[in-house]
Amino acid sequence: MSRPDLAALEVGAEVASRTVQVTRQDLVRYAGASGDLNPIHWNERFAREVGLPGVIAHGMLTMGLAVDVVTAWAGDPGAVVDYGVRFTRPVPVPDPGSAELLLTATVGVIDTEARTVRVDLTVTHEGARVLGRAQAVVRL
C-alpha cells in the first residue's frame, strides 16, 4: 500500500472508515492472546451481576481494532508514533450474534514541520461513542 501524501491532506478530511464485527469467539481469542481472563468478557451471569448489560468486549481489543484503520491508511504500523483513547462505554457482545463497531478516521491536525498528522478516530456502537478522545499521531 502506498503512504499518504502529507501535502495532499486537509484538516477535517476523512481518510479511512471501516465496519468491524466483534463476536464472542473474538473475545475468547483475545483473552487467550492477552491473558485478560476477566469473567466480564466471557461469563454472562457474572457480567450482569456486576451491573453490566452482559458480556462486553475488552477495552484494549476495541482500542486495537480502532487503530488498525489508521495503520492500514498510513501503510506502515511503525508510522504511528503516539496513540491514546478514553474508554467511554462498554461494547456488549451478544450470543449469538456480534457487536458492530463503526470506525472513522479524520485528519485533526497537520504539522508540516514535524511531518506528522494527528488522526482523530470516531468509534461507535449502536450510535453511541465507545471511545473518547481517540487520537493517533502518524509520521509521514
**Which tens digits make up the pLDDT trace of 41-79?**
999 999 999 999 999 999 999 999 999 999 999 999 999
Q: Taking the mean position of all CA atoms in its chain, how far away is CA 61?
A: 7
Region at 124 (left for phi over 0; alpha for psi -120 to 50; beta for the rest): beta
Give the type of residue at 49.
Answer: E
- For the chain, give the mean pLDDT: 97
Rounded to an integer, what distance in angstroms lies between the CA atom of residue 25 and that of residue 22?
8
pLDDT for 71: 97
Rg, C-alpha atoms of the chain: 16
Band (pLDDT 50/70/90 cuts) for residue 1 is low
pLDDT for 38: 97
- From the number of C-beta atoms within 10 Å of its C-beta (0-12, 13-18, 19+), residue 10 rates as exposed
The partner residues of 129 in beta bridges, in order of sequence, read: 124
Q: Is the pLDDT of residue 14 over 60?
A: yes
Q: Is the pLDDT of residue 21 over 60?
A: yes
Question: pTM here?
Answer: 0.93
pLDDT for 99: 98
CA 22 to each of CA 68, 112, 128, 135: distance values in angstroms, whole numbers, following the listed order: 14, 37, 16, 21
Percent of the chain with pLDDT over 90: 98
CA proximity to 131, closest of 110, 109, 105, 111: 105
Q: Is the pLDDT of residue 112 over 80?
A: yes
Q: Is the pLDDT of residue 2 over 90?
A: no
Mean pLDDT of 87-101: 97
Band (pLDDT 50/70/90 cuts) for residue 98 is very high
Going along the chain from its start, the domains and CATH numbers come out as 6-22+59-139 (3.10.129.10)
